[in-house]
Amino acid sequence: MNEMEIPTVADLVAKGERPDVLFWVGCAGSYDDRYKNVTKAFVKILNKVKINFAVLGPEETCTGDPARRAGNEFLFQMQAMANIQVLDGYEIKKIVTACPHCFNTLKNEYPELGGNYEVVHHSQFLQELINEGKVELKGGGEFKGKKITYHDSCFLGRANDVYSAPREVLEALDAELVEMKRCRTKGLCCGAGGAQMFKDAEAGDKEINIERTEEALATNADTIAVACPFCMTMMSDGVKNKEKEESVKVKDLAELIAEHEGL
Amino acid sequence: MQYLPQIIFLVVAGFFGFLILKRIKQISDNIKLGKAANLSDNKSERLRIMLLVAFGQKKMFKRPIPAFLHLLIYLGFILINIEVLEIVIDGFFGTHRIFAPYLGTFYTFLINFFEVLALGVLISCVFFLIRRNILRVGRFHKVEMKGWPTLDANLILIIEILLMVAILGMNGADQVLQTRGVDHYTVTGIFSISASMFPFLNFVDTSNLILIERGAWWFHIVGIFAFALYVTHSKHLHIFMAFPNTYYGRLIPKGQMINMEEITNEVKIMLGMPVEGEATPPPEGMKFGAKDVNDLSWKNLMDAYACTECGRCTSECPANLTGKKLSPRKIMMDTRDRLEEVGKNGLEDGKSLLGDYITKEEINACTNCNACTEACPININPLDIILQTRRYVAMEESGSPASWNAMFQNIETNFAPWKFGAQDRFNWANELKEEQ
């Protein structure tokens, strides 16, 4: 196998080149042990289909989303302006990210601060690759006859109306896609949005991720597919709490595709 | 004495008309306490959404059974008003069924049609009372519904039932009087629903029958005037507010937070970036975020008056579903209750929306998942109010939860919300290369 290419934009620019698309890794994708695997899986796919991509590497910083949602508008705008300076400095036109929170912020909230880019979520990017035949899923294989349920990320679904792309990616795997009772526009949150990821929940009689995990387990799916780092953490914790981690896997879309491709 | 009923009618109509106009002025003044927000763009798109969501009730049909019953009441409300127009004209001019001679058999058809609608309204209201009080649908019995909100809901349904009984009773008595050839009672043909009352009404003598007919007529029209006034003080105001509320709703993606432009200039100065135009410091005494109703936009306040407390938002809220104190419906009710209080006592009464009505525990529990805004049949946005109050807590009070303050600090120092070093951000790439 060829050497894995993970160019930074700075590398490319030094060589007088530019990436067609910037992969915005996000903080979870960079630091979270579980989600780093998603980053790696996505980079493997990008390499396999020879996408001219790059990452910001050490130059990437938090989009500011958690600060903004927790009320700290100053900090959000500081982060956003600094990021826009970097992105514009490199004349970035198109961004793909595996984090719906980064996706929402870059796509919807940066334009008002002067940052205008074409932003896609990796589920949309993967769907495009499949539709264009760049990623060919032969069907059969290890997913044949397996049940997968998809947990909608709120920041992808309701916040941005992306419901079909992740489902089409899963359907291409030839697995049986089973829906939870609350799905699409009625999907139940994993409990981590709106900066909840960064604090304990308020007093109540149940954790939200347990409620959601119970619903996912009720589908009897072998795999709970997610498309968001926070959903990944919350659903994985939920499955562990229910002591089902041996029989039920929580996987990101990119991981499922990479596995299927033997990457 | 011949003109006495007309005079009484004029006085009653004037009395309620005056009070209703006064109340509309009060509501409009209260909404104007909100901050400016320019929502006059994209008129055709706004009109389209209003027609679809408010007039067409599109979002109601996510729950088909209540949607159907609600539709019957809605159609009844709109169409029976044509008959109310006749009643008002009769009241002013001392006529009786003034449209009948002009419309002939079409009049008979119309009244028959209205009677079917009236029966539909009546049956729906009975169903709704059963759902609320006997089947006890969960969302109607949350803590914020204790007391007045529950009474308000039941009163609305009972008043509507009484008004429909009056209209049917009036028509029933009228028809028997027609058969007896009593003066003034124009012959109209049979009204099928109220005709079912003949077996009872036939036994009543003419003078008592006139009493029933007139009594029902007066009860119905005075009831409608009084109900119209009541509506302006009640959650039932949604029948009017749904229209402007959907018209002025958000056109941007649900995930997008409204930008605070007043901060943008300061941030640019701090980062040494060029500032467009004259760099003006924020005005003296400007607050960041919302502490009280006047810190919210007028649209947030309009939302509060439009809410009919159906609780679909709360029943889909992940925080509320898992026993947290947050209820998006309560956010809207609190905003309206505080706004009403401010309208009466002014802003300087030592109270505020955040603190005296909405607590930090509630706003902190929100996951920004937009289930509430998606669920609302008339596009009310409780999330926007939650986010603005969070801004006040974070930027004016530095009162966010300790772990959020730690997260802010991490972003400031490591450029990531977790306590990882910025130099380690790209480690995953080396790991991947080694794994290969």
- How confident is the model over B291-303, as pLDDT tens digits? 999 999 999 999 9
The span from the CA of A113 to the CA of B266, in Å, is: 13
The CATH-assigned architecture of domain B4-32+63-247 is: Up-down Bundle (1.20)
Report the chain A residue with the minimal C-alpha distance to residue B260.
A73
The span from the CA of A250 to the CA of A234, in Å, is: 10
Rounded to the nearest 10°, the torsion over CA B123, B125, B131, B134 is -90
HEC string for B1-24: CCCHHHHHHHHHHHHHHHHHHHHH
What's the whole-number mean pLDDT along residues B226-250? 97
The pair of structure tokens assigned to B391 is: 């801004």
DSSP assignments along B328-396, one per residue = HHHHHHHHHHHHHHHHHH-S-SS--IIIIIB-HHHHHT-----HHHHH-TT---HHHHHHHHHHHHHHT
- Residue scoring higher pLDDT (A94 or A263): A94
B102 touches chain A (CB under 8 A): no
CA angle B185, B188, B189 (to 5 degrees): 130
What's the whole-number mean pLDDT along residues B255-274? 89
As a whole-number percent, the residues of chain A with pLDDT over 70 amount to 98
DSSP state of A24: E
**The pLDDT of residue A144 is above 90:** no
Tell me which residues of chain B, numbers 332 to 351, contact chain A at a CB-CB cutoff of 8 Å. Answer: none
Mark yes or no for CB contact B435/A73 under 8 Å: no
Report which of A61, A46, A54, A152 is spatially closest to residue A106, judged by C-alpha positions. A61
Residue pair B359/B334 in contact (Cβ under 8 Å)? The answer is: no
Q: How near does any CA of chain B get to the CA of A44, in Å?
A: 9
As a whole-number percent, the residues of chain B with pLDDT over 90 amount to 90
**The pLDDT of residue B273 is above 90:** no
Predicted pLDDT at B266: 86
Mark yes or no for CB contact A77/B435 under 8 Å: no
Report the chain B residue with the minimal C-alpha distance to residue A44.
B432
Identify the residue among B366, B386, B425 best suited for mutation to test binding to A, counting A beta carbons within 10 A and taking the highest: B425
**The pLDDT of residue B335 is above 60:** yes
B387 touches chain A (CB under 8 A): yes
Mark yes or no for CB contact B271/A82 under 8 Å: yes
**Residue A4: its chain B contacts at CB < 8 A?**
432-433, 436
The span from the CA of B8 to the CA of B419, in Å, is: 77
What's the whole-number mean pLDDT along residues B85-108? 94
**The pLDDT of residue B279 is above 70:** no
CATH of domain B262-400: 1.10.1060.10
Q: How near does any CA of chain A get to the CA of B432, in Å?
A: 6
CB atoms within 10 A of CB B261: 10
Predicted pLDDT at B243: 98
Predicted pLDDT at B272: 83
Cα radius of gyration (chain A): 18
What's the whole-number mean pLDDT along residues A130-154? 87
Cα radius of gyration (chain B): 28
**Residue A66: its chain B contacts at CB < 8 A?**
407, 411, 417
The residue type of B431 is E
Question: pLDDT tier at B268 (50, 70, 90 boundaries)?
Answer: confident
DSSP assignments along B146-163, one per residue = TTHHHHHHHHHHHHHHHH
Predicted pLDDT at B144: 97
- ipTM surpasses 0.85: yes
Kindly report, residue by residue over B126-167, the tens digit of the pLDDT: 999 999 999 999 999 999 999 999 999 999 999 999 999 999
B326 touches chain A (CB under 8 A): yes
DSSP assignments along B208-262, one per residue = HHHHHHHHHHHHHHHHHHHHHHHHHTSGGGHHHHHHHHHHTS--S-TTPPPP-HH
Kindly report, residue by residue over B167-200, the tens digit of the pLDDT: 999 999 999 999 999 988 989 989 999 999 999 9
The span from the CA of A160 to the CA of A66, in Å, is: 17
Report which of A230, A231, A250 is spatially closest to residue A240, judged by C-alpha positions. A250
CB atoms within 10 A of CB B324: 23
What's the whole-number mean pLDDT along residues A155-178? 95
**The pLDDT of residue A71 is above 90:** yes
Mark yes or no for CB contact A78/B271 under 8 Å: yes
The pair of structure tokens assigned to A140 is: 């059969």
As a whole-number percent, the residues of chain A with pLDDT over 90 amount to 90
Mark yes or no for CB contact A70/B400 under 8 Å: yes
The span from the CA of B376 to the CA of B329, in Å, is: 10
Burial of A18 (0-12, 13-18, 19+ CB in 10 A): middle
**Residue of A31, A67, A189 lying closest to B371 (CB–CB):** A189
Identify the residue among A183, A202, A211 best suited for mutation to test binding to B, counting B beta carbons within 10 A and taking the highest: A202
Domain ranges of chain B: 4-32+63-247, 262-400
What's the whole-number mean pLDDT along residues B76-102? 92
Kindly report, residue by residue over B406-422, the tens digit of the pLDDT: 999 999 999 999 999 99
Predicted pLDDT at B274: 79
The span from the CA of A118 to the CA of A20, in Å, is: 11
**The pLDDT of residue B82 is above 90:** no
CB atoms within 10 A of CB B229: 18
B392 touches chain A (CB under 8 A): yes
Question: Across the A/B interface, how many CB contacts are shorter than 8 Å?
Answer: 226
Mark yes or no for CB contact B322/A29 under 8 Å: no
Predicted pLDDT at A137: 80
Query: Residue A8 forms beta bridges with which residues?
Result: A55
User: In which element (H, E) is residue A79 found?
Assistant: helix A73-89
Question: pLDDT tier at A140 (50, 70, 90 boundaries)?
Answer: low
**Residue of B255, B267, B364 lying closest to A202 (CB–CB):** B364
B288 touches chain A (CB under 8 A): yes
Computed over every residue of chain A, the mean pLDDT equals: 95
Identify the residue among B252, B315, B369, B376 best suited for mutation to test binding to A, counting A beta carbons within 10 A and taking the highest: B369
Computed over every residue of chain B, the mean pLDDT equals: 95
DSSP assignments along B130-191, one per residue = HHHHTS--GGGGSGGGTTHHHHHHHHHHHHHHHHHHHHHHHHHHHHHHHHTT-TT-------
Q: How near does any CA of chain B get to the CA of A199, in Å?
A: 5
**Residue B314: its chain A contacts at CB < 8 A?**
none
What's the whole-number mean pLDDT along residues A26-31? 98
Predicted pLDDT at B382: 98
The span from the CA of A98 to the CA of A251, in Å, is: 13
